[in-house]
């Protein structure tokens, strides 16, 4: 009798724990997206200059490491907001460039934001509805990430427009895959810390938005 009760209780506890992580993740993700957008707006309003890519990478990885260190404490929440706020500040000058360089700059930014929202809600909603396990994609996504990082570093020196265009399209596809993968990890117990789950999903959304904005600027921008 006791063994039977234990066998039934464990799955129920696991489901409740997963639902709690999922709820906390999406709540914190919503808050950080709003905060990041506010910091981006501040950056635009103050007309901040673009940060050097070394400073961007250093700040991003430094804050990611701090978030990982303090993920199980209240400081983890502070680090999450510091990370997402920093990402908003770095995005501000790029967005400001589109607003000033294109007659339809505001439309491009809103379209990129709306498109990113549709991609995220569609893919994440698909995983939540079907409960499919996309853990098998981990290896392929990691290889794709390495390829994109190496190609991006190489293009810093060569500055080939066609390569940058291809990288933007590939990044959108890759991080769309990561949305499937990261959401799947949460609902199947692969990620039990909502702080880190929030950071990974935020980063997926951020990369898709920035690259979608770049593609829209190339194909739909009015000088």
Q: SS3 for the chain, per residue?
A: CHHHHHHHHHHHHHHHHHHHHHHHHHHHHHHHHHHHHHHHHHHHHCCCCCCCHHHHHHHHHHHHHHHHHCCCCHHHHHHHHHHHHHHHHHHHHHHHHHHHHCCCHHHHHHHHHHHHHHHHHHHHHHHHHHCCCCHHHHHHHHHHHHHHHHHHHHHHHHCCHHHHHHHHHHHHHHHHHHHHHHHHHHHCCCCCCHHHHHHHHHHHHHHHHHHHHHHHHHHHCCC
pLDDT score, position 221: 66
What interhelical angle do 105-130 and 194-220 show, nearest 10?
140
Q: What is the mean pLDDT of residues 107-129?
A: 96
Cα separation, 137 vs 141, in Å, equals: 6
Q: Identify whether the C-beta of residue 115 lies closer than 8 Å to the C-beta of residue 168.
A: no
pLDDT digits (tens, 9 = 90+) for 97-114: 999 988 899 999 999 999
**What's the pLDDT score for residue 218?**
87
Mean predicted confidence (pLDDT) in 64-92: 96
User: Cβ atoms within 10 A of the Cβ of 81, count?
Assistant: 17
Residue 30 has pLDDT above 60, yes or no: yes
Contacts of 66 (CB under 8 A, 6+ apart): 79, 82, 83
Q: Answer yes or no: is pLDDT of 151 > 80.
A: yes
Across residues 182-187, what is the average pLDDT?
95
User: In this model, does residue 6 exceed pLDDT 50?
Assistant: no
Residues 197-212 pLDDT 10s? 999 999 999 999 999 9
Residues of the chain with pLDDT > 70, as a percent, come to 94
Overall pTM surpassing 0.75 (yes/no): yes
* Whether pLDDT at 71 is above 60: yes
> In the predicted model, what is the mean pLDDT of the chain?
91
Percent of the chain with pLDDT over 90: 77
Residue-level pLDDT at 1: 44
């Amino acid at each position: 009798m006791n063994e039977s009760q234990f066998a039934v209780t464990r799955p129920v506890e696991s489901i409740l724990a997963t639902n709690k992580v999922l709820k906390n993740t999406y709540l914190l993700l919503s808050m950080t997206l709003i905060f990041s957008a506010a910091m981006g707006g501040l950056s635009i309003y103050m007309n901040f200059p673009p940060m050097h890519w070394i400073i961007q990478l250093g700040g991003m990885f430094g804050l990611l490491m701090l978030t990982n260190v303090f993920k199980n404490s209240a400081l983890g929440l502070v680090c999450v907001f510091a990370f997402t706020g920093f990402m908003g500040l770095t995005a501000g000058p790029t967005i400001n460039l589109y607003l000033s360089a294109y007659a339809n700059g505001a439309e491009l930014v809103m379209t990129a934001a709306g498109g990113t929202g549709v991609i995220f809600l569609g893919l994440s909603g698909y995983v939540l509805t079907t409960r499919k396990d996309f853990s098998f994609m981990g290896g392929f996504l990691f290889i794709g990430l390495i390829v994109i990082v190496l190609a991006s570093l190489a293009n810093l020196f060569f500055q080939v427009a066609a390569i940058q265009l291809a990288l933007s399209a590939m990044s959108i596809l890759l991080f769309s895959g990561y949305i499937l993968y990261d959401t799947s990890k949460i609902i199947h117990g692969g990620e039990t810390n909502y702080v880190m789950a929030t950071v990974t999903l935020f980063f997926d959304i951020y990369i898709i938005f920035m690259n979608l904005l770049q593609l829209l600027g190339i194909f739909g921008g009015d000088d």
